[in-house]
Structure 1
């Protein structure tokens, strides 16, 4: 059995073939993705994965795109314009 990855985990958002959603999600889990949210009707899901496993996820048949999840923080509405 292979040694677990020691790479930092990153958040990802994936678009997959909605007609094969369950099959593709299963393959992504086997490839190291920890799924946090699924939207099967539109064919998207999000989760975390070791950064060095991103190429493995991209190679899964049925994956259409992978984007890193980025948090955007806005100042409160009453803050002065910067």
Structure 2
């Protein structure tokens, strides 16, 4: 099962975020979005080993799991 992650790019590499995204792809991340304005790369990975590899890449400040929250529909009795 794949895991959704966000990669924070360190300040020294923000201007070269596309290079960091390529390194993430090479490490096994399926890159969905490169958000240059905020220094983030989002995507999915298949294992914790890939998360560890991403964290060791030059230019990566942090790798965090994305969390999804779903609210019940407005007509639901529980709000």
**Do the two structures share a fold, i.e. TM-score over 0.5?**
yes
TM-score (norm: length of structure 2): 0.80
User: What's the TM-score once normalised by structure 1's chain length?
Assistant: 0.78
- Aligned CA-pair RMSD: 1.6
Which has a greater percent of helix? 2
| Structure 1: unaligned runs, 5 residues or longer | 1-7
Residues 18, 34 of structure 2: 8 Å contact kept: no
In the TM superposition, what whole-angstrom CA distance separates every residue of 1:34-72 from its partner, at most 9, and x where no partner exists? 111111121111111122311000101111111112211
Deviation at 1:9, TM superposition (A): 2.0
- 1:65 equivalent among 55, 62, 65: 62
How many residues are paired up? 75
Tell me, in whole angstroms, the C-alpha distance in 1 between the residues paired with 2:35 and 2:24: 15
In 2: Cα distance, 1:37 partner to 1:23 partner: 13
> 1:5 aligns to what?
none
Ranges in structure 2 where 5+ consecutive residues have no aligned partner: none
